[in-house]
């Protein structure tokens, strides 16, 4: 039997005090941990196309869909698509899928992962691309003269900072060949494979979520790993292609509505969505603009990194001077943090202001009887408890939702750093950290009546 919080009076808003008490009494729901899921299960289909931090597993989305929706005219939305777990799951079930992500690399990954390509056609295109680059298999053939390397000139200084001269040239040759593909779906497929290999081919400190160089790291040669990853993606695509019904593949544009954009502005009409399943960013945890910097440099996706950073929710680069969070629980967190770090306090305030706007948008797009499922964990920064889940409950109520259910789950399979250093508030290796960062997380479910 699933252990869930019993909401005392669902039709009445819970007070901040009642919310805090509910979370203190909450036990872990073992059935939602999916501890039995193997990497081959969580990385099935197209889910292994690209590395991505803090991605949740498809089994979680599938379980929520089974519990809350049925039929083929279901519409599922994800305002923080990330690497597309919710969107891919929706398409696999023949649902309508919509969503956004401000991260341009995330949007590209989601678009490619949710677009099945006819396997024979894909195989021919892969073979053609690799044949153009076959001279990279041997060092005896000159690199120049066959294809000229494509290296974004305006980002050359930063690319030189992260890549050896040899790898920079080889990557430029691969990128030029990719851009010779006329079919946009195929070109995007190849670009995702290209993006995935960049960290391995650079001197970026492997495993680091911060832009850190490892001058002792031997970068992997690009062509061999690119070819290997293309084959892995090809296998995933074939399985996904055979799962998605023919009529859905043939009318994908009518089923898939995703945008590179703000979570506070979904590309759907009022009261049109049945279920929202999303894992929102955490306050000051990841700087996604920095984390995917290598990809955005090579694919030339921004002009000004500083301006690009400020578009993200949860970034340390955003502050509001004319408004504050309306959540009493959040206000208390901000007050505690202001005694330690006024800068971080303003960042936390901005995060909860943004999330309230996202909850308002969720309420707008959901049908009556629809639910939003927000996956979020609590953490600690500089000794202050950041009760994200509790704030989400209060804020969802302020947006008009009834709190239908709260699930507490262990996250043995979630791909993210598990430890923090209390003094710095930063992620740290296990031997240097003082405690777990995200040992558990919550699924906060709001109901629109």
3-state secondary structure the chain: CCCCCCCCCCCCCCCHHHHHHHHHHCCCCHHHCCCCCCHHHHCCCCCCCCCCCCECCHHHHHHHHHHHCCCCCCEEEECCCCCCHHHHHHHHCCCEEEEEECCHHHHHHHHHHCCCCCHHHHHHHHHHHHHHCHHHHCCCCCCCCCCCCCCCHHHHHHHHHHCCHHHHHHHHHHHHHHCCCCCHHHHHHHHHHHHHHHHHHCCECCCCCCCCECCCCCCCCHHHHHHHHHHHHHHHHHHHHHHCCHHHHHCHHHHEEEEECCCCCCCCCCCCEEEEEEECCCCCCCCHHHHCHHHHHHCCCCCCHHHHHCCCCCCCCCCCCCCCCCCHHHHHHHHHHHCCCHHHHHHHHHHHHHHHHHHHHHHHHEEEEEEEEEEECCEEECCEEECHHHHHHHHHHHCCCEEEEEEEEECCCCECCCEECCCCCCECCCCCCCEECCCEEEEEEEECC
Same structural domain for residues 146 and 94? no
Query: Taking the chain (449 residues) in consecutive chunks of 10 residues, what is each chunk's mean pLDDT?
Result: 47 86 94 91 95 90 96 95 97 97 96 98 98 81 68 96 97 97 98 97 90 95 97 98 96 97 97 97 78 94 84 82 92 97 94 97 98 95 95 98 96 51 48 55 96
pLDDT of residue 417: 46
- CATH code of 368's domain: 3.40.50.150
Same structural domain for residues 274 and 184? no
> Does some domain include residue 4?
no
Same structural domain for residues 270 and 364? yes
Structural domains in the chain (count) = 2
pLDDT of residue 206: 86
Same structural domain for residues 399 and 442? yes
> Does some domain include residue 10?
no
pLDDT of residue 413: 46
Same structural domain for residues 185 and 280? no
pLDDT of residue 424: 47
> Does some domain include residue 107?
no
> Does some domain include residue 291?
no
> Does some domain include residue 91?
yes
pLDDT of residue 67: 96
Same structural domain for residues 130 and 224? yes
Question: Whole domain around residue 423: which residue ranges?
Answer: 16-102+250-285+318-447
Same structural domain for residues 161 and 259? no
Give the predicted TM-score (pTM) of the model.
Answer: 0.90
Same structural domain for residues 380 and 265? yes
Same structural domain for residues 184 and 273? no
> Does some domain include residue 49?
yes
């Amino acid at each position: 039997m699933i252990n869930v919080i019993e909401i005392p009076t669902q039709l009445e808003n819970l007070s901040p005090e009642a919310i805090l008490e509910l979370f203190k009494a909450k036990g872990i729901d073992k059935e939602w941990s999916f501890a039995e899921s193997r990497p081959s299960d969580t990385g099935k289909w197209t889910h292994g196309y690209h590395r991505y931090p803090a991605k949740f597993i498809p089994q979680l989305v599938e379980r929520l869909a089974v519990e809350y929706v049925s039929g083929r005219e279901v519409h599922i939305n994800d305002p923080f698509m990330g690497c597309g777990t919710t969107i891919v799951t929706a398409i696999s079930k023949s649902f309508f899928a919509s969503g956004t992500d401000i991260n341009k690399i995330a949007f590209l990954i989601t678009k490619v992962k949710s677009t099945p390509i006819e396997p024979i056609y894909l195989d021919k295109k892969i073979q053609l691309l690799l044949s153009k680059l076959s001279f990279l298999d041997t060092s005896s053939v000159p690199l120049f003269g066959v294809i000229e390397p494509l290296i974004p000139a305006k980002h050359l200084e930063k690319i030189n900072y992260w890549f050896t001269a040899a790898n920079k040239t080889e990557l430029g040759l691969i990128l030029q060949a990719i851009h010779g593909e006329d079919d946009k779906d195929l070109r995007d497929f190849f670009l995702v494979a290209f993006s995935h290999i960049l960290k391995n081919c650079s001197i970026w400190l492997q495993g680091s979520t911060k832009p850190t160089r490892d001058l002792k790291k031997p970068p992997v040669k690009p062509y061999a790993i690119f070819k290997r990853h293309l084959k892995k993606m090809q296998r995933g695509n074939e399985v996904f292609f055979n799962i998605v019904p023919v009529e859905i593949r043939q009318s994908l544009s009518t089923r898939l509505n995703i945008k590179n954009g703000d979570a506070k502005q979904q590309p759907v009409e009022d009261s049109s969505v049945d279920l929202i399943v999303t894992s929102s960013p955490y306050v000051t945890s990841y700087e996604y603009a920095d984390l995917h910097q290598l990809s955005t440099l090579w694919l030339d996706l921004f002009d000004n990194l500083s301006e690009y950073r400020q578009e993200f929710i949860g970034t340390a680069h955003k502050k509001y001077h004319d408004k504050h969070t309306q959540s009493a629980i959040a206000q208390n967190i901000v007050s505690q943090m202001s005694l330690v770090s006024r800068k971080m306090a303003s960042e936390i305030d901005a995060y909860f202001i943004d999330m309230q706007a996202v909850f308002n948008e969720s309420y707008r797009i959901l049908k009556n009887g629809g639910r939003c499922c927000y996956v979020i964990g609590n953490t600690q920064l500089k000794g202050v408890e950041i009760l994200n889940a509790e704030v989400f409950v209060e804020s969802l109520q302020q947006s008009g939702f009834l709190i239908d259910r709260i699930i507490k789950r262990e996250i043995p399979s979630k791909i993210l750093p598990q430890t923090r250093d209390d003094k710095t508030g930063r992620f740290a290796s296990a031997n240097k950290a003082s405690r777990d960062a995200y040992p558990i997380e919550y699924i906060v479910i709001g109901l629109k009546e």
